[in-house]
Each structure stands twice: as C-alpha cells, then as structure tokens.
Structure 1
C-alpha cells in the first residue's frame, strides 16, 4: 500500500490528517485488550488492558508513554520528527508486549499462552501508517528508503533474537514449528520466483508484440483478462486435471516435479495470473515513449534492435517495473492459497493453524507474507524511483 503525497511535501499535515493515525492508535491501546492470557494454545483467554493498575502484566507508565508519543504526532513537527516518533511508538508497543508477556508467564504453567490482543495490533498498525505517511512526505531518496527498511527489519531481528519476546505465544509456536517454518519460507520463495521467471519470459515479448500489433492485442488482452478474473481456487482445480494427466502419460515428467498436486499447478496458475499486469504495463511503457525520441534515434541511424535497447526499453523500464512489482506482491499473497493443493509455502502454517483453532500459528504464517510484500514494495518502488530520476527531464 502506498500513500499519495506530492513529492517533496515536507510540511506537517493538519491536525485532522495526523489524527487519522494518532487517535486510532491511542484508542486501540487504551480501550482494547493489549494482551490475552490463555490457559493453553486453543481456548479463549482473559483480555489484559495495558493501562489498568494492579493487573498482572499491565504497564500504566508504558501506556502513558505510548499515548504521549501518539499525541506528539499531532503537533506541527517536521516530518523527520514525526517519522522518529512513530517508529519509537511502534518499538515501544512491541517492547510493552514482550514485557507484559514475561510478567504474565512468570508464575504460569508452561502450557499457558500469552497472545497479542486487538489493542496491540491497532496501535502498531496505525503507528506504522503514521511512519509511512511521514516517510512519503519526506520524499526520501531510494537508497535512504532501502536503508530505513533494512533498519526496521534489523531492529525486528534484534528484538526477536534478544529473547525479550520469547514468552509470547507466536514465538512459542515458532519454536515448536521451526522446521516447518523454514520449509514454508523456502516453498513460498520457490512459488513466487518460480512463477515470476516464466511470466517475464512470456509477458515481456508478448507485451512488446501487443504494442506493435493491434491484431495481437485484440486477441491476447481479452484472454489475459479472462485468466485474471478466474478465482484462484478454481484455477488451481482446473490445472490439476491436465497436469495429472501429463504426469500419468509421461512418467518422466514426475521427476521434474510435474503432477496434479503440489508446486507445479501452483506455479502454472501464478504464472498465468502474472501475465496481464506484465503485458499491460509493457504496452503502456512502450506507448509512453515520446515519438520525437524515436525519430531522433532513427535520424542517428539506429536500426530497430538498437532503437529498442538504447532508447525505447530504458524509457519504458519504470512502467514495466511497476507491472513486475504488482505481480510480485500479488503472487506473494496468492501463493498462500497453494497450500490447499500441496504447493507448500506459508499457507501450510495458516491452514494448519485454522484447522487447530490456533490463531498464533495462523499469525506465524501470515506475518511473514505481509513482511515479504512490504519489503518487495519498498525495493521495487526505490528501483522505479531511481529509474525515473535518471531519465530525461
């Protein structure tokens, strides 16, 4: 998700705009349970409010500091200060959750669990949105954005490695499913990258052909639109039959991983879903190349191939890369559904958690998907911005 802010707008927003982020964060931390203490991993538990004095694990001083940080974002401060305050508030939110979990589990039996409550998620989400809004208004350089992303992920890794959050139920789920988590991570990357490569090999030439040939465009685009509107579950199901038949007819294909279930139908389906954004953005990118630059290239004696690689492709690259970004983020999410046909990925943890009514296991599969999508968005946006800044003015 991106926030549409005019580039270079470093002014502080009005209090109404800032309140969109600060007020929900403060109300979430104040009115909703910040943590949930449960006798075991499945049953529902008792909600723990952060501000209530005398409640085991509650931190009134921490709650006051968190509300204070959220309130400070309402002031007409420089955007860099708002960014720092929002990030500090998010870090404090996580630290309070870990501290509260440690206090609640100090005298609890080993099978008790402390889960993150609605107050935690609302506060963290809106503080993260406040940070994203401030960063967008700062119009940070691409390398600075990548550095900021690396800093946030590095801080998260340090917090996880420090042991301060180990008593939270989601970390206990990780300890119990570490091997499955590693396999899910590798499987998810396999699905995303395994579908991206053939989609690029097919989509980029097809997009170029559709740009040059109205007849090809009239045939290809409606077909791709039909594929894009097919529900993912239906697409996976439709591909199971022909791929299973191919594997039965040519047993050698099984050695290559082709089968009616597993990663093969998932990769084929994700590839088909990837074609429309890549083809459409490739057509749009080449269509946006100014005609006078093409004429200038021809006037310099450039042939068709040289004109493509030295003039048209560099100018169309930002738009094409935008389509690739859409595909990567889309497939990171869709790959979770592949678990229903044995495709692997983080969806295996999500659906296993749903089957066991273990919501922390569901979160263990969901949060990495969100993190991967955010990282991909920031990296691609930085690359696109770098191409735009380096283009003709």
Structure 2
C-alpha cells in the first residue's frame, strides 16, 4: 500500500460505486423525467474498460500516471456520452431527449479532481498553467463544435437558443466584469485612504461588511425601489437606462458586493509592507505618492490581485441572480428552466457560469503568482 495514493484509492472506490449508478436518461420530451440507463446497458466495452484503466492509474503516487489516468477517463466519458446519446435515440420518438445522469457527473468530478491533484503535485509554473488552461479550453471548444454531443438534450436546447445564448453570455460578462471595474475604481482609492486614515477605516470596513451580509435576493430587491425612484425623479436617468428592474439594479448590487474584498485587500496589502522597507524608502527621500507607487503597491500587488480574484469569481456567480429581475445573463436560462421544470435548460445557464468562474479563478491565480516577488534565494 506504500505505492498507493490515498486520494486515488478513494476515487477508485467512488468510481466503482458510480458504475452501478444511472449514467444517462432517456425521456419522451424535454420536461418529463427520463428512464435511467447504466454504463453497462450502453455496452460500449472499450470505453468502459478505459474508465477502469483511468481509475487504476489514479492509484499511483507518481503524478504523471495520475494525470494520464484523469485524461484517459475524461476521454472515455465523452466517448460513452456521445455513443450513448446516439444509441438511445436511435429507436426513440421524435421529441425524445437524452441527458447525462448521476453516474456521468460523479465520474466527471472524480477524473477532474484526479487531474487537479496530479497538477498540484507537479506544481507547474504560471506559463505552463496558462498553456494547459488554453489547451483545455481549446479542447472543450473543439468537442462542442465537432457535434459529438449534438444528440444530448442540452445541445438541442442550445441549438434552439444559439443567438439568445451568446447575447446572455455578453450580458453576463458585462454584469460581472463591468461591476468589478467600477468597484476597483471606487474601492482602490478608498482602500488607500482607509490605510492612511485609521478613523475612516473604522467607519468604512464595518459598513461594507454589513452590505456583504445582506442576502443577494434581498439586495436585488432593495435596488428595485431605489432605482425606480431615481428613474422617476432624476432628469435623464431613465434615458440612461436606469430603471427599477433590468440591468441597472443588478449592476449596482454587484458593485456594492464588490467593495469590501477590494477595500479590505488593499488595506491588508499596504499593511503588509515591512516597516523597515517603508522607512528605507522614506530615508531615500521618496514622497508619499512615490512610496505608494514604487514600493508599497508593487510589494502588495499579490494581495490586491487576490481581492480582485475573489470579486471576479463572486460576481460571475451572483450575476445569475440578475436573471430573476430581468437583468439578463445566464440566469435567464436558469430561471426559465426552473419555471418549465426543464433540467437541461437550467444546465444551459449553469454550466457556462461554472466554466467561466473556473477559468477566471485559474487566470487570476496565475496573475497572483506572476506578481509575487521572487525570493533572493530562488534567483
């Protein structure tokens, strides 16, 4: 057992259990519950054997076999999904739909975690991580555009909503990244002032912490009457797009949620500058502005970027709620699917949101590593 990876052993046990779980479902239409089918019912034995090989490779303590096992497992999962969708629909009626089930999602999580665990052990540098991320995104795009998964219900939901999907994608990015940009413009100078003025810090941080505790639905609800009043009383506000529902209240709410992480991390970054370093800069005759831009901010940049990372991932997730008040984004598909009890329509909004959040988190982690000072001993 000394050569066996404990996470790999856990993944093997869970994967063996998931082989008995439903892998796909076949439903008469997009709304009704489907009939479950296990991997064994699909009878694609080479791909099933590939899953077993991937799980067994995951037992190795060496990172490279675990990485290979994860990649083999993901490839076989896609093969099974594509083959199973076509096989199940071959003798089905016109409106029949096929979807991944618990077995697929569980195995997908296992092989993704196996790959993540192997990469953690390998510790690739920022450049290699960026290349791996680009390769993963390109591979996923290639699979989606190839039509391998065109028989799945979620692919059919996309085919009937392709133009609204990309419109929602653009609106989601506008909500998440636009609110982040506005929050940085406001919160970065505010964080510097809070660092310089302890009294302002004692007032500002508790207030922003209170805003952070308000539930997202409540915050969106509060914005509706406030912006409705602004639209009715402020000249030109309605023409500028400000209204009680839609994009504006969602955008303002996301900006408010973004302030605390950026302000807090700005204060923490400046507080973390060694006093001796600040004193040396002062002794060299640098002004306050020069010390800030040439010494304090470069040293605190990793902490600042960590705050931006928190906000970016948070806003991508919270922007889904904007669909509830007409703000657009992927949340519009999520809530339409909930209203219609159409699971695959929910996934059409949820899965791109998850993918977007993961990509944003990885990109920001790479930037944090790049910004981190290199120790003298490592040079």
Distance in 1 (CA, whole Å) between partners of 2:188 and 2:43 is 55
RMSD: 1.5
Q: Which residue of 2 aligns with 1:67?
A: 52
Aligned partner (choices 173, 176, 187) of residue 171 of structure 2: 187
Contact 1:58 1:100 in 2 (8 A): no
CA shift, 1:61, in A, is: 3.1
Residue deviations 1:305-334 (CA, integer Å, cap 9, x gap): 111101000001100100100000001000
Q: Which residue of 2 aligns with 1:4?
A: none
Residue deviations 1:157-203 (CA, integer Å, cap 9, x gap): 11111111100111011001112211110110010122111100111
Give the structure-2-normalised TM-score.
Answer: 0.96
Q: Which residue of 1 aligns with 2:116?
A: 132
Q: Which residue of 1 aligns with 2:208?
A: 224
Secondary structure of residue in 1 paired with 2:238: helix
Distance in 2 (CA, whole Å) between partners of 1:392 and 1:191 is 41
Give the structure-1-normalised TM-score.
Answer: 0.92
How do residues 375-390 of structure 1 correspond to structure 2 at under 5 angstroms? 375-390=359-374
1:259 aligns with 2:253: no
1:17 aligns with 2:7: yes
Distance in 1 (CA, whole Å) between partners of 2:175 and 2:3 is 41
CA shift in 2, pair 1:348/1:58, >3 Å:
farther
The runs of 5 or more residues in structure 2 that have no matched partner are none
CA shift, 1:106, in A, is: 2.0
Q: Which residue of 2 aligns with 1:371?
A: 355
Residue deviations 1:124-153 (CA, integer Å, cap 9, x gap): 011101111111111111111111111111
Q: Which residue of 1 aligns with 2:260?
A: 276
Q: Which residue of 2 aligns with 1:86?
A: 70
Distance in 1 (CA, whole Å) between partners of 2:271 and 2:23 is 52
Aligned partner (choices 88, 94, 97) of residue 110 of structure 1: 94
Secondary structure of residue in 2 paired with 1:252: coil
CA shift in 2, pair 1:65/1:88, >3 Å:
closer
Contact 1:23 1:70 in 2 (8 A): no
1:123 aligns with 2:112: no
Contact 1:294 1:311 in 2 (8 A): yes
Secondary structure of residue in 1 paired with 2:176: helix
Distance in 1 (CA, whole Å) between partners of 2:235 and 2:339 is 34
Aligned partner (choices 212, 215, 227) of residue 199 of structure 2: 215
Q: Which residue of 2 aligns with 1:298?
A: 282
Contact 2:299 2:373 in 1 (8 A): no
Distance in 2 (CA, whole Å) between partners of 1:254 and 1:72 is 61
CA shift, 1:75, in A, is: 2.2
Distance in 1 (CA, whole Å) between partners of 2:298 and 2:68 is 36
Question: Which range is displaced more, 268-277 or 293-302?
Answer: 293-302
Aligned partner (choices 41, 45, 48) of residue 30 of structure 2: 41
Q: How many residues align?
A: 376
Contact 1:25 1:124 in 2 (8 A): no
Secondary structure of residue in 2 paired with 1:44: coil
Residue deviations 1:269-313 (CA, integer Å, cap 9, x gap): 001101111111111111111111111212222111111101000
CA shift in 2, pair 1:162/1:119, >3 Å:
same
CA shift in 2, pair 1:364/1:188, >3 Å:
same
Contact 2:3 2:60 in 1 (8 A): no
CA shift, 1:23, in A, is: 2.6
Q: Which residue of 2 aligns with 1:6?
A: none
Secondary structure of residue in 2 paired with 1:114: strand
CA shift, 1:87, in A, is: 2.0
Distance in 2 (CA, whole Å) between partners of 1:190 and 1:119 is 35
Residue deviations 1:75-112 (CA, integer Å, cap 9, x gap): 23x31331222122112212210111011112322311
Residue deviations 1:224-261 (CA, integer Å, cap 9, x gap): 11000001111111111111111111351122111111
Question: Which range is displaced more, 253-262 or 318-327?
Answer: 253-262
